[in-house]
A and B are shown apart, each in its own frame.
Chain A
């Protein structure tokens, strides 16, 4: 009896880990592509928030979960376009541009939420029914592993499949090579007559779409409702995981799972009623990110031209 409890606890813990990791994974994989193309996009947090809001609003109005997901991706793409315009066309400082989008998104979602749902308090928050868990036939029946990996939301599978897909695109295709070259030496790509700007736009918009998707996961698969600042720092965690994972898809997956594990652990303990300072546990990923930054010193394989706008002619 005791051992069964143990097993269900661990299975629940690990299944939770995968579920919590998914939205962060979307954001982090998107940011990986963006940073590989030499753009530092700090707006993941705001873009996820916007995706979470737009996804929720559309689903609430239409009753269709996939419309919400699509809307969140479009909203994320628009914010990505805005970021690309600021960073690649206007060549505004990328740090400031990213922060500006975060602030815009934070304010705009808050305002639009109040506008769309008047007289709403913490007691009567509007909610939707979330995505169901999809159990994959056969694989889902494997003991333990099936419950952990193959009884998840569809979006979680999408996130997991994206890891090898993005890895393939970045390392095995011509386009991926070009993107990575821009991150290291944009002039080399420009000299070959290929447009640096167009590729960066593509990468940044893709990053926005991914963050929007990750955001929609929060409202449409996890919470079923929207509250202001529901992204709760996950975008920043995604940014940290890219560094933590040394700009490699597989390590980024590990980083996301690690964060998911800690969060799932504190949730599981709270669920069983263990009295413990769960806030301090929640602070762990943030502390460990700093530790990883410090330990990574000198071994970082971040793109060389990251965060530097590319001028075809150096400005006079």
Chain B
């Protein structure tokens, strides 16, 4: 059943064949070529399965895909909307990237998203009478800080008490969601509405739009800046070196004199801060009021984005735009072919699974085995 290196070697030796043969053997490290190739292999496989899903909806696959493409990139405004959809994904993808580079499993980007959205809402409604640029700057800083705290709690508990960050971040997701849903039914509820939502935030706090038409907002520009900053952080600073060292070998990192506890806390705090910017962007850039449906699971999709982007900011950008296009295109597809938008969520999960499988191939190489004697 297993494809362990040992098994294949045994299989070879048992067949006393003298002819030249090929076999898989583990390679040292992973092949750079495969790192990229396996992404495309995974996308191709996911594409095939997605076609099956579309066909099972009784729609013409080609027609549906065309509608999707048109919806995502069919016009300048469609392309701009694709970037709007990709904005929160860039943030959460980057957040997960920082954490996973240090092998810290931050599953809490979703909760940190909400921490950011809540902080942004609070600033927008309570800090008034200042010029708009200052309010916006304060919003961004407050959101980042809120995310740092929400992520940092998990970091602190891991560093200080050895509590698994996986469990803690997942629990924190639920805690903040219940807190928010309480606030939305109580102190923060829009008094003029019976929906669970806040009143619209004052206009001065809204992120400016980047284009004359469409919804593309400051959040996208901020996401690009943060992507660059994450690159600088990971590959040009001491902290980044320590994060990556911790990710490769925590024991060696400790012996090298890296303070594992501090680094762990910083990783989760920074990761949380970046994820929170997604929340701030969605609130101040698009929705202008808090509702429970302003995230469609961006924090969790961020995990897929980060893996697909090979835990690299440039890869994350590409992956986020690709998934943003899927989300945006799926709307067009639903309208013209009736295939439910929910297809996108299914594609995301399938892509990740195929990627994980294809990655295994990158750990092996096909070599020619000469018969020895």
Contacts and interface: CB of A to CB of B under 8 A. Distances in A.
Nearest to A228: B342
B346 A110 contact: yes
Interface string B320-352: 000000000000000000001011111111101
A103 B340 contact: no
A236 B170 contact: yes
Nearest to B353: A100
B230 to A, nearest CB: 20
B166 interface: yes
16 contacts: A42-B166, A86-B356, A89-B2, A103-B345, A104-B353, A108-B350, A113-B342, A114-B342, A240-B171, A286-B171, A286-B174, A293-B161, A293-B167, A312-B6, A313-B6, A316-B5
Interface string B28-66: 100000000000000000000000010011000000000
Interface of B: 1-7, 26, 28, 53, 56-57, 105, 107, 157, 161-164, 166-168, 170-172, 174-175, 178-179, 181-182, 185-186, 297, 300-301, 303-304, 307, 340, 342-350, 352-353, 356-357, 359-360
B344 A107 contact: yes
Interface string A85-111: 010111110011101111111111011
Contacts of B181: 279
A201 interface: yes
Contact of B342 (A103, A110, A282, A283): A110
Contact of A114 (B28, B182, B297, B340): B340
Nearest to A197: B2
Identify the 7 closest CB pairs spanning chains A and B, nearest first: A104-B349, A107-B345, A114-B340, A107-B346, A283-B178, A279-B182, A103-B349
Contacts of A279: 178-179, 181-182, 185
Contacts, number: 152
B352 A103 contact: yes
A228 B293 CA distance: 13
Contacts of A115: 56-57, 340
Contacts of B179: 279-280, 283
Given A236-B167, A315-B5, 16 more contacts: A86-B353, A90-B356, A90-B360, A96-B356, A100-B356, A103-B303, A104-B353, A106-B345, A111-B346, A113-B342, A197-B1, A280-B179, A280-B182, A287-B171, A316-B5, A316-B28
Contact of B164 (A89, A228, A243): A243
A295 B300 CA distance: 28
Contact of B346 (A104, A283, A294): A104
A108 B170 contact: no
Nearest to B178: A283
Contacts of B170: 236, 239
A201 B1 contact: yes
Nearest to B301: A103
Interface of A: 42, 82, 86, 88-92, 95-97, 99-108, 110-111, 113-115, 197-198, 201, 228, 233, 236, 239-240, 243, 277, 279-280, 282-283, 286-287, 289-290, 293-294, 297, 311-313, 315-316
A94 to B, nearest CB: 10
A89 B363 CA distance: 13
A67 B336 CA distance: 36
Report which residue of A89, A96, A104, A107 has the largest number of chain B beta carbons within 10 angstroms of its beta carbon: A107
Contacts of B356: 86, 90, 92, 96-97, 100
A290 B53 contact: no
Given A86-B357, A92-B360, A279-B185, A297 B163 contact: yes
B2 A100 contact: no
A120 B229 CA distance: 45
A90 B359 CA distance: 9
Contacts of B360: 90-92
Contact of A290 (B56, B168, B301, B350): B168
B4 A106 contact: no
Given A107-B348, A111-B345, A95 B174 contact: no
B52 to A, nearest CB: 12
A95 B342 contact: no
A282 B175 CA distance: 9
A45 to B, nearest CB: 9
A105 B353 CA distance: 11
Contacts of B5: 313, 315-316
